[in-house]
Each structure stands twice: as C-alpha cells, then as structure tokens.
C-alpha cells in the first residue's frame, strides 16, 4: 500500500535520473545494439542463398524483433546494486520504508519510455520496409506480444536482482555479471535464431530451452515473427509466466539471505 502511494514519486525520480545521466543512459542503450551487427552478418550470409530455412528477410525480421525486445527488457540493475553495496549507498536505501526490489524496479521501469522513444521507431521503420511479410498476422499472438514482453522484463529483472544481491557476499562480483551475460548471449537466441543452433548443436539447444534465457528473448521474437498454433502460443506464455515467478522469488530469496551479510561499507 505504502509502495503504491510512493509509486508516482519514485517514477518521477527514475525519470529524473535517466535525464540527469543521459550520456550513461545512451551508452547503455548502445550496448544493446548487437542484434544490428548480427543482422548485418547473417543477411550477408543469406544473400548467397537461404541459410537453412532462413532467407535474408527472415533474418531482418528476427534480429529487428530481437533489437526491440532487448531494448525493452534489458536492465543493468545488477551493476547498480554492486555499486550501491560497494560504496555503502545501500544503507540509505534500506532505511526507506519501501522494499528495494520495488524501488529498483520502478527506477528501471521509468527508463522504459525513453528507450522506446529511441529504439522502437527505428526498428519499426526498418521492419516495415524490409521484413513485414515475415511478421505474424495471427491476432491472438499480436495481442499477447505485450504481456510476453512484460514477462520477459520480469524474468530479466528478477535474475539481475538475484545477481546484484550476490554482491553481499563477493565484493568484486562483476565477474558474475559477466558470466550471466555470456550465458544470456549464448542461450537466449541473441546471436542467432535457436532453430539454427538446433541443427548443429541439438543437445545445447535442448539445454537452452530448459533455462530462463529463451523466455527473455527467443519467445517474444517467436510470437512476433512466426505463425504458431494456439496451444503452442499458450504453452510459451505459461512457460514465461512460470519463469517470471521463479526468478522473482529467487531474487527475493537471495536478497533476504544476503542482507544478513551486509557490512555497510563506507558510510
């Protein structure tokens, strides 16, 4: 209840932070442009003829969808938390009568409008000009894109919160953030469609699908670019929802255990 009342204020603070540190914000945005590079790579490969079943246009649709989803769902809360723990800023956050999970969450969500302003028009224009017939026309899927992206955001936030809370035990936890990003790049379909990976590394693809990573990227892209039967759509959404709940609970659990280790560095 208290959190709800503070929400508009927290939101305004988040917006102000984004504007105040706009250069840093822009840099974070630019780090999520890998899909454009992968797009350049795969389309030039496919220009010699379709790669497996993927044509040049399919790759355009896939990676631009990836760009949109990534822009809207990525967050860097783990890095923020490492800094807060290392510099002792966390003490201040703990004194506030709002769970840091909500506070961090709102501050990240407040950056979303800015990200869509920058990223979405570019991607939509490109998508419309060169890949529109590779998009889905199924109304159910179009309706479920937004919930799917919200679930992807929650999974990403829950995992990042859990990683950030590891900072309670390890002072130099940046390496763990690196491991997370490596796994994400490897297993989420960030560098290539998971279908392509399946033909060469079937075991790895099975492993990938049993982790939360595809739910963060590959699933929304799939909803956006493939026509799927209703049962498959619902199965994918259910999988995302399960991971979202799991990752949030994980984040909160790691946080609760870690808090007991908090040594309030600095002060």
Partner 1 sequence: MTRYLQLVGIQLRVSAAAAMQYRANFIIQGLMTLGYIALTLLPLGVLFGGRSSVAGWDLPSALVVMAYFIGVHAVVEGIVSPSLVDLVERIRNGAFDYVLLKPVDAQFMVSASRYEPWKIIDLLGAIGLVVYSFHLRGSPPSPVDLAAGIVLFVAGVLATYSLWLACAATAFWVVRMDNLVYLLGSIFDVARWPVQVFRGMWRFVFTFVIPVALMTTFPAMAMLGHASWRLTVATIGGVLLMLVVSRTIWRIAIRNYTSASS
CA gap 163, 77 in Å, rounded:
9
Structure-derived torsion over alpha carbons of residues 200, 31, 88, 248, reported in degrees to the nearest 10: -50
9 counts as binding partner 1 under rule CB under 8 A? no
- Whether 231 contacts 220, CB under 8 Å: no
**At closest approach, how far in Å is the CB of 4 from partner 1?**
31
Stretch in the footprint of partner 1 (CB under 8 A) among 67-75, 112-120, 174-182, 223-231: 174-182
* Cβ neighbour number for residue 144 with a 10 Å cutoff: 19
180 counts as binding partner 1 under rule CB under 8 A? no
182 counts as binding partner 1 under rule CB under 8 A? yes
150 counts as binding partner 1 under rule CB under 8 A? no
CA gap 5, 19 in Å, rounded:
23
Stretch in the footprint of partner 1 (CB under 8 A) among 112-120, 127-135, 200-208, 248-256: 200-208
**At closest approach, how far in Å is the CB of 53 from partner 1?**
11
- Whether 61 contacts 120, CB under 8 Å: no
Look at the alpha carbons of 56, 194, 188, 201 in this order and tell me if their dihedral is positive or negative.
negative
209 counts as binding partner 1 under rule CB under 8 A? no
Instruction: Choose between 199 and 210: whose C-beta lies nearer to partner 1.
Output: 199
* Cβ neighbour number for residue 182 with a 10 Å cutoff: 10
Structure-derived torsion over alpha carbons of residues 259, 260, 265, 267, reported in degrees to the nearest 10: 80
206 counts as binding partner 1 under rule CB under 8 A? no
**At closest approach, how far in Å is the CB of 70 from partner 1?**
12
Query: Which residues lie near partner 1 (CB under 8 A)?
Result: 21, 23-24, 27-28, 30-31, 33-34, 37, 40-41, 44-45, 47-48, 51-52, 76, 79, 83, 170-172, 175-176, 178-179, 182-183, 185-186, 191-192, 196-197, 199-201, 204
């Amino acid at each position: 209840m208290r959190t709800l009342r503070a929400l508009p204020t927290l939101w305004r603070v988040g917006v102000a932070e984004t504007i105040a540190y706009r250069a840093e914000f822009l840099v974070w945005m630019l780090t999520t442009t890998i899909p454009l590079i992968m797009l350049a790579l795969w389309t030039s490969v496919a220009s010699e003829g379709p790669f497996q079943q993927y044509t040049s246009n399919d790759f355009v649709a896939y990676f631009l969808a990836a760009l949109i989803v990534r822009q809207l769902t990525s967050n860097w809360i783990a890095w923020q938390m490492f800094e807060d723990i290392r510099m002792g800023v966390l003490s201040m956050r703990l004194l506030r009568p709002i769970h840091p999970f909500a506070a961090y969450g709102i501050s990240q969500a407040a950056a979303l409008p800015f990200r869509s302003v920058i990223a979405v028009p570019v991607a939509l224009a490109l998508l419309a000009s060169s890949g529109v017939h590779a998009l889905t026309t199924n109304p159910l899927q179009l309706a479920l894109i937004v919930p799917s992206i919200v679930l992807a955001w929650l999974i990403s936030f829950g995992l990042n919160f859990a990683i950030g809370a590891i900072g309670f035990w390890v002072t130099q936890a940046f390496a763990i953030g690196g491991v997370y990003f490596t796994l994400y790049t490897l297993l989420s379909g960030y560098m290539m469609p998971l279908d392509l990976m399946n033909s060469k590394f079937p075991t790895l693809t099975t492993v990938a699908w049993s982790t939360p990573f595809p739910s963060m990227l590959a699933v929304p892209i799939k909803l956006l670019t493939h026509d799927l039967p209703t049962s498959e759509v619902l199965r994918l959404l259910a999988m995302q929802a399960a991971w979202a709940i799991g990752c949030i609970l994980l984040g909160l659990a790691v946080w609760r255990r870690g808090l007991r280790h908090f040594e309030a560095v600095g002060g």
